Amino acid sequence: MRDLAPLLIGEDPERVELIEEKMDKVLLGNRAAKLALEMAILDLIGKRRKTPLWKMLGGYREKVETDFTIGIKKPEEMARDAVEMVSRGFRILKLKVGLNPEEDIARVKAVRDAVGNSIRIRVDANQGWSVKTAVKVLNELQRYDVELAEQPVKWNDLEGMAEVRAMSPIPIMADESVHTPEDALKVAMMRAADYINIKLTKAGGLLKAKRIAEISEAAGMPNMIGCMMEGGISITAAVHFACGTRNVVTSDLDSDISLKQDVVSEGAAKLEDGYRIPPNEPGIGDIKLRDEMLKHIATYKEKAEKEEF
Within 10 angstroms of residue 132's Cβ, the number of other Cβ atoms is 14
Cα gap 107→69, rounded to integer Å: 13
Backbone angles phi, psi at 57, to 5 degrees: -85, -5
Residue type, 232: G
Is residue 199 part of the annotated active site? The answer reads: yes
The 3-class secondary structure across 93-158, one letter per residue, is EEEECCCCHHHHHHHHHHHHHHHCCCCEEEEECCCCCCHHHHHHHHHHHHHHCEEEEECCCCCCCH
* Nearest residue to 224 via CA among 120, 116, 140: 120
Distances (CA, A) of 67 to 89, 96, 250, 252, 293: 10, 12, 8, 5, 28
Cα gap 224→216, rounded to integer Å: 11
Distances (CA, A) of 25 to 19, 171, 200, 204: 10, 37, 19, 14
Cα gap 288→95, rounded to integer Å: 32
Distances (CA, A) of 49 to 56, 128, 254, 281: 9, 46, 29, 11
Catalytic residue among 55, 63, 94, 199: 199
Q: What is the radius of gyration, based on Cα positions, of the chain?
A: 20
Cα gap 225→139, rounded to integer Å: 26
Catalytic residue among 34, 96, 202, 208: 96
Cα gap 220→81, rounded to integer Å: 34
Which residues form the catalytic set?
Answer: 96, 199
